[in-house]
Chain A
Amino acid sequence: METSIWHALLYLVGILAFAGLNAAYLGYCERKGAARIQRRSGPTEVGYAGLLQPLADGIKLMSKQLLVPKGVDGIIFRAAPILAMVPAITSMAVIPFSGNIQARAMELSVLLLFALAALAMFAILLGGWASGNKYALISSTRAVSQTLAYEIPMLFTVITVVLISGSLNLQDIALDQQGGFWRWNIFRIENGHFLTMWISFLIFFICTIAETNRAPFDMAEAESELVAGFMTEYGSMGFGLFMMGEYLNIVVAACLTTVLFLGGWDCPLGLIPGVWWFLIKIYILIFTFIWIRWTFPRTQIYKLLNLNWKILIPFSMVNLLITAVLIKVF
């Protein structure tokens, strides 16, 4: 792949545009989706069917003052929202949107993604810590224990995929799954992997919900307990950046799920692969995120950790074992 300055610039602009558009419009989709599930109509006033609502929200947030309360750690307080955005945007650099749309093909892109995902937790931790608010502090400690715990089963399930593909490169993993849904990791017929991989997929999906702090695992911003969690003291674009970071994390999680389990840009029937298949898949996953959020009550922190340590981790370990055996036997 050529690495001229134009190539880098093109992808920089492309990724920023994709990220910005998603961060803005997923908020709109969330509100519309929630409204439809609840038999309401959601935003309708700004633009046709409320389509300019994200713009209006953005202008409103930007015109507000970023209030830094007395007694907070000013630098960290201001840096945390930026830190919420940066890892999510950076992760997009290694995601293969299709066979030839990828900013940077890296041999260890899976590792890089998980390193960046772990970094996203820091934004919550620092934001909550610097706020000097008790609710924010409780929220950030919750977020850390939750994210740390859920990384374990997540990595176990990713190892099963890596074992099957024999590569840590997302591009290779996706290429390995081309040629119809029976070759996708979730339904893989070859070696009988479909027996365990759907469980891997479910575990991975649950973990992404927990990692991105989405309901029903939104311990960190449980609004009926912690007011707004780590965002309690944030207003203006500080709040806006946290929200955008949250949506970008969802996009990254959906992209990763698509590449690891759903064949990336492959057509389900093995016909014409392309970037549109990738986009369809990630938006179906994102819709499921929204759907889940607006259906279930929130779990409680200990129930959440119980689910992780008692169900997800044993299941993912057994899954890893079976997958390894299947690969060895066949």
Chain B
Amino acid sequence: MSAYWRDIFYGSKSLIKGMLITGRQFFKPVVTEQYPYETPTLPPLFRGHIELIGNAESGLPNCVVCMMCQRACPSDCISLGGKKAEGGKGKVLTSYILDFTKCSLCGSCVESCKFDALRYSHEYNLVSFNKDDFIIDLMKRLEEQNRCKQ
């Protein structure tokens, strides 16, 4: 019988305590971010999809087509093509296609790159009804970035 009264007493007390906590929160400011109007600041290490780094002067990709990124990728989403450089040694990049639909953003490609040719983009607004929109031509992207810089 004492358990009965104890339940009623402490139960009501705990209910009132809970109500007071939520009641106090009612008058406090919101903590959420109003997304389209406020955008989050991404940390410098944020891992978006990859993009090519252009040479500071020429704007051409740093890539030497060593294929390390392609080999490191666990999901086969990188395919790149190159050709012999004209009048010099080594190779130049002709195409760099990222299949973002398969990418798991692990960062193995950027880590494996010894020539400072890849970095993470800070793009997170990626949405489309078309799967093909996520097969990203990174060469074209770099060209656009160069154009924007000028």
Whether the Cβ atoms of B31 and A37 lie closer than 8 Å is: no
In the complex, B125 has a CB within 8 A of chain A: no
B127 at the interface (CB under 8 A from A): no
The reply to whether B19 and A295 form a contact with Cβ atoms under 8 Å apart is yes
Knowing A292-B19, A296-B15, say if A37 contacts B25 (CB, 8 Å). yes
How far apart are the CA atoms of A319 and B27 in the complex, in Å?
Answer: 37
Contact pattern, A 119-139, Cβ under 8 Å of B = 1, otherwise 0: 000000000000000000000
Q: A50 to chain B: closest CB distance in Å?
A: 12
> Which of B4, B19, B22, B32 interacts with A40 by CB under 8 Å?
B32
> Given A294-B22, A295-B18, A296-B15: A39 and B32 within 8 A (CB)?
yes
Q: How far is the CA of A33 from the CA of B26 in the complex (A)?
A: 8
Most buried by A among B8, B25, B26, B29: B26
Give Cα A295 to B19, complex, Å: 6
B30 interface residue, CB < 8 Å from A?
yes
Count of chain B residues with a beta carbon within 8 Å of a chain A beta carbon: 17
Nearest CB of chain A from residue B4's CB, rounded to whole Å? 8
- Tell me if B130 is interfacial: C-beta within 8 Å of chain A: no
Give the CA-CA distance A35 to B22 in the complex, in Å.
11
Give the size category of A's interface with B.
Answer: 10 to 19
Residues of chain A contacted by B25 (CB below 8 angstroms): 36-39
CA distance A60 to B28 in the complex (A): 32
A44, B34: Cβ atoms under 8 Å?
A: yes
> Which residues of B1-15 have CB atoms within 8 Å of chain A's CB atoms?
4, 8, 15
In the complex, the chain A residue whose C-beta lies closest to that of B24 is: A37
Say whether A41 faces chain B, with CB atoms less than 8 Å apart.
Answer: yes
- Which residues 243-296 in A have Cβ within 8 Å of B in the complex? 291-292, 294-296
Nearest A residue to B23 via CB reads A291
Contact A41 B30 (CB under 8 A): yes
User: Contacts of B4 on A, CB cut-off 8 Å?
Assistant: 310
Kindly list chain A residues whose C-beta atoms are within 8 Å of the C-beta of B19.
Answer: 291-292, 295
27 A-B pairs with C-beta separation under 8 A: A33-B26, A35-B30, A36-B26, A36-B30, A37-B23, A37-B25, A37-B26, A38-B25, A39-B30, A39-B31, A39-B32, A40-B30, A40-B31, A40-B32, A41-B30, A41-B32, A44-B34, A291-B19, A291-B22, A291-B23, A292-B19, A294-B22, A295-B18, A295-B21, A296-B15, A296-B18, A311-B8
Using a CB–CB distance below 8 Å, which chain B residues touch chain A?
4, 8, 15, 18-19, 21-23, 25-32, 34
